[in-house]
Chain A
Amino acid sequence: MSNASNPETRVIEVHNLARVEGEGSLHLKIQGNRVTDIRFGIFEPPRFFEAFLRGRSFDEVPDITARICGICPVAYQMSSCTAIEAAMNIKVEGQLRLLRRLLYCGEWIESHVLHMFFLHLPDFLGYESAISMAADHKDLVVGALRLKKAGNEIVRLLGGREVHPINVRVGGFHRVPERGELDALGEELSACRNFAVDAIRFLASLRYPELEIDYDCVALRHPKEVAMLDGAIATSRGLEIPISQFPDHFEEIQVPHSTALHGRLRNGGTYLVGPLARLNLNWDLYPPAIKKLAEEIKFTVPCHNQFKSLLARGFETLYALDHALELISAYAPPSEPAAEIKVRQGVGHGCTEAPRGILYHRYEIGADGLIRSATIVPPTAQNQPQIEADLAAYAPRLLSLPQEEMTLRCEQLIRNYDPCISCATHFLKLTVDRG
C-alpha cells in the first residue's frame, strides 16, 4: 500500500514469521532516511520453563532445560549443571570437565554448520533455499552435511542421542565412554578437517554488506583457553565480572510489542553475544593455525560487521573440530562418571557459551534439593535489541531497493544472529504500506 499524503514514508510490516519456535513479527517504518519505528517481536518459550522448574528436584533440571531448544540442548544442560554445581559447591574437573568441552564442541559444530550452510549461505549466494543452492554447490553441501553429522555424532556418543541428550547429569555424566569408543569419531573428524578449512576460504570469497557497528561485545573469557563452560563475563568496553554478578550488570525488560523479554545492560545499552563477540574477546587464545588462516583470508579481529558472523562461525567450527580431536587424542576414561554430590541449600549461577551466545542460568535450591526459583536468560533474548539497532542502522541504506529485495536484506541481517526464533529460512511475508 502507498501513503499518498506522505510518499516518503515506507513501512515494512510482517505479522507472522513462519517456521519459528513461537511467534515473531517485524514492523519497520522509515520516514525519509530515518527509521522512526522498529519492532522485532517474538514469543519466547523459556519463561514457562522457569515456572516448570519450581518444585522439581535439582537432578531433573538438566533434562528439563534440554527441552527448551532442539538445536542447542547441550548449552541448556551445561548452564543448568554449572549453576547447580555452583550452588552445591560441586567441582567438576579433569577428564569430566574435558568431556563436557568435547560435548560442547559437538554442539558448536552441528549448530554452526546447519546455520552457515543451510540457513544463512543461501542469502549470500542469492538462492531461495539450501535445496536450490545444492544444485550448483553440490560438493559444499555434501561436505557440510558430513561435517554436521560428525558434530551430531559427538553429541550422540557422549549425550546418548543427537537431540535432547540424556546422559548428562549434575556432577558429570551417567556413563563415560571407553577409550576405543572415540576412535572412529576421531577418524571422521579428521576426515572433515580439509573441508572445514576450504569452506572458510570459500566463505571469505563472498561479498559482505558493509555495516560497521560499534558493538559492546559480551562473552565468557577464560585465562587459558577459548571459553565454553566457565570463566568471567567480559565485555569489549572493559567490564570483567564473575558469572554470579550477571544480574548486577544485565537485565531483561518487557516491551509492549512482544511477549519476549529483551536483554540489555543495566545502563540501558544494547550488547552483542554470539560467535563474533566471542571471537573479538578471545582471539588471542586461538591456535596459531587458525590465526594463520585468518591472515590468509584477510579476516581481522576485532571485527564489527555482523554479516561476517558467518566467518566467525566458520572459525569457531574449525576450532571446535581441532579441539575435539585434541580432547579425543588425550582422553583417558575417568574413574567415576560423575563427581560426588552432597545436596545442600544455596544459590548458584551458571553461564556457558551456547552457539548463539552466553546462556545464563540462576537457581535457588532448598535443603531438600528442590528448586525454589529459576532464571534463564537465553542468547536470543539478549541479542533482540541489538538486532533492532542493526536494522535501524541498515534499513535507510536500502531505500533505493525494491520492496522485495529490501525485505530479503533485512531477513539476511536478522539471520546474522542465528536467532532461535528463525532457525528456518525465508520467513517474512511482507506487506508494504506507503499510505
Chain B
Amino acid sequence: MSAQKIRVIGVGTAGAGDDALGLEAASILRSRVPPTVDVTSDTTGGSNIATLCEGIDVLIIIDAVKPTPTFPPGAMLSWAYPAMRSAIDQSLCRNTHSFSVTEGLALAEQLGVLPKRVKVFGMAGENFEPASGLSATVRMRLNDLVELVLQHI
C-alpha cells in the first residue's frame, strides 16, 4: 500500500436508481481498504469537493455515468483529471441544485487545493428514476467497479 494520503468520495443520490452507485461502491470499499484510506460519501453533488481536498495526495471520485451506445449500462470508465476534464463533464450526471463534480473539481483547482493525482471512476447507469434502487445490471457489476478502484489505491 502507498504511504500517500488517499481519499475516496462516492458521489450520488440515494433512492434515485443507479445515481446511488457511487455511494454503494464507497460503502463496499470501506471494508476493503486500510484505515489510512479515507472513504466518504457525498450526496451534494460536487459542492464539497474543494473542502474534501484538504490534506490529501490522491483524490478518487466514483460517480454514475449517463449510458451511451458506446458505454451501455454497467460499462466502467476511468479518467485522470484535469487531463480528461471535458470527457468527465460530458459523461457524469449533473446535479441541478448545486455544483457538478467537474465544477467542484474546477473550483478546487482554482483554489489551489486540488491534489496532484485525481482519478474519476464512473459506471454507466441504467435507471435513474426516483424512489428506485440500483438496477440489476449495475448491482451485478458493482464489485468489478470496486476492484477497478482498488487497483489504483
CA distance A409 to B116 in the complex (A): 39
Which residues of B sit under 8 angstroms from A152, Cβ to Cβ? 44, 48
* Residues of chain A within 8 A of B27, CB atoms compared: none
Does A67 contact B131, Cβ atoms closer than 8 Å? yes
Q: Which of A28-36, A159-167, A320-328, A337-345 contacts B (4 or more CB under 8 A)?
A: A159-167
- How far is A71 from B98 in the complex, measured between Cα atoms in Å? 8
Shortest beta-carbon distance, B93 to chain A, in Å? 13
Residues 95-126 of B, flagged 1 when their CB comes within 8 A of A and 0 if not, give 11111000100110011100000000000000
* Chief secondary structure at chain B's binding surface: loop
Nearest first, the 7 A-B pairs at minimum CB distance are A70-B97, A134-B110, A163-B43, A71-B97, A423-B97, A131-B106, A145-B51
Partner of A131, one of B48, B51, B107, B112: B107
Q: Which of A138-197 contact B (CB under 8 A)?
A: 138, 141-142, 145-146, 148-149, 152, 161-164
B50 at the interface (CB under 8 A from A): yes
User: What does the 1/0 interface line of B47-59 toward A look like (CB < 8 Å)?
Assistant: 1101100000000
B7 within 8 A of A: no
Choice from B14, B50, B98, B131 contacting A114 with Cβ under 8 Å: B98
If A152-B44, A163-B13 touch, whether A141 touches B96 (CB-CB below 8 Å) is no
- Given contacts A146-B51, A149-B51, is CB(A141)–CB(B107) below 8 Å? yes
Given contacts A161-B43, A163-B13, contact A19 B51 (CB under 8 A): no
Q: Are B94 and A114 in contact (CB under 8 A)?
A: no
B13 touches A164 (CB 8 A): yes
Chain A residues lying within 8 Å of B44, measured Cβ to Cβ, are 152, 162-163
For this complex, 29 residue pairs linking A to B, each with C-beta atoms less than 8 Å apart, are A19-B94, A20-B96, A21-B96, A21-B97, A67-B15, A70-B95, A70-B97, A71-B98, A114-B98, A118-B99, A131-B103, A131-B107, A134-B107, A135-B110, A138-B111, A141-B50, A142-B50, A142-B111, A145-B47, A146-B51, A152-B48, A161-B43, A162-B42, A162-B43, A163-B13, A163-B43, A164-B14, A423-B96, A423-B98
- Cα–Cα, bound, A135→B42 (Å): 25
> Which A residues are within 8 Å of any B CB, using their own CB?
19-21, 67, 69-71, 114, 118, 129-132, 134-135, 138, 141-142, 145-146, 148-149, 152, 161-164, 420, 423-424
State the CA gap A146–B107 with chains docked (Å): 14
Q: Is B130 an interface residue (CB 8 A)?
A: yes
Contact A70 B107 (CB under 8 A): no
Q: Is the CB of A138 within 8 A of B112?
A: yes
* Cα–Cα, bound, A135→B113 (Å): 12
- A163→B13 CA distance, assembly (Å): 8
| Chain A residues with CB under 8 A of B98 | 70-71, 114, 423
Q: How far is the CA of A138 from the CA of B14 in the complex (A)?
A: 32
User: Whose C-beta in chain B lies nearest to the C-beta of A420?
Assistant: B97
Chain B residues with CB under 8 A of A134: 107, 110-111
Q: Quick one: which of B94, B97, B131 has the most chain A CB within 10 A?
A: B97
CB distance from A37 to the nearest CB of B (A): 28
Residues in B neighbouring A146, C-beta threshold 8 A: 51
Inter-chain CA distance A133–B75, complex, in Å, is 36
Which one of B48, B95, B97, B106 lies within 8 Å of A149 (CB-CB)?
B48
Cα of A161 to Cα of B111 in the assembled complex, Å:
27
Residues of B with C-beta under 8 A to A145: 47-48, 50-51
Residue of A nearest to B130 (CB): A67
Closest residue of chain A to B106 (Cβ to Cβ) is A131
Question: In the bound complex, how far is the Cα of B100 from the Cα of A423, in angstroms?
Answer: 12
Known: A135-B110, A138-B112. 7 other contacts (CB 8 A): A19-B94, A21-B97, A114-B98, A118-B47, A131-B103, A163-B43, A420-B97
B51 touches A161 (CB 8 A): no
A368 to B76, CA, bound (A): 47
A164 touching B43, Cβ below 8 Å: yes
Give min CB distance, A163 to chain B, whole Å.
4
Which residues of chain B from 64 to 103 have a CB within 8 Å of any chain A CB?
A: 94-99, 103
List residues of chain A with CB within 8 A of the CB of B95: 70
Residues from chain B with a CB closer than 8 A to the CB of A141 are 50, 107, 111
Docked pose: A434 CA to B97 CA in angstroms: 34
Instruction: Among A67, A114, A131, A148, point to the contact of B110 (Cβ < 8 A).
Output: A131
A130:B48 contact, CB within 8 angstroms: no
Q: Tell me, in angstroms, the Cα distance from A69 to B130 when the chains sit together.
A: 12
When distances are taken between beta carbons in the complex, the residues of chain B under 8 Å from A142 are 50, 111
Neighbouring B residues of A162 by C-beta, 8 Å: 42-44
Inter-chain contacts of B111 with A (CB < 8 A): 134, 138, 141-142
A182 to B17, CA, bound (A): 32
- Write out the residue numbers on chain A whose beta carbons fall within 8 Å of the beta carbon of B14: 161, 164
The docked-state distance in angstroms from the alpha carbon of A138 to that of B113 is 11
| Shortest distance between the CB of A66 and any CB in chain B (Å) | 10
Q: State A21–B98 Cα separation when bound (angstroms).
A: 11
B53 to chain A, nearest CB (A): 10
Q: Does B13 lie within 8 Å of A130, measured CB to CB?
A: no
Complexed CA–CA distance, A19 and B102 (Å): 14
Provide the bound-state CA to CA distance between A278 and B105, in Å. 35
- How far apart are the CA atoms of A134 and B109 in the complex, in Å? 10
Q: Contact check, A148 vs B47: say whether CB atoms are below 8 A apart.
A: yes
Complex-state Cα separation, A161 to B15, whole angstroms: 12
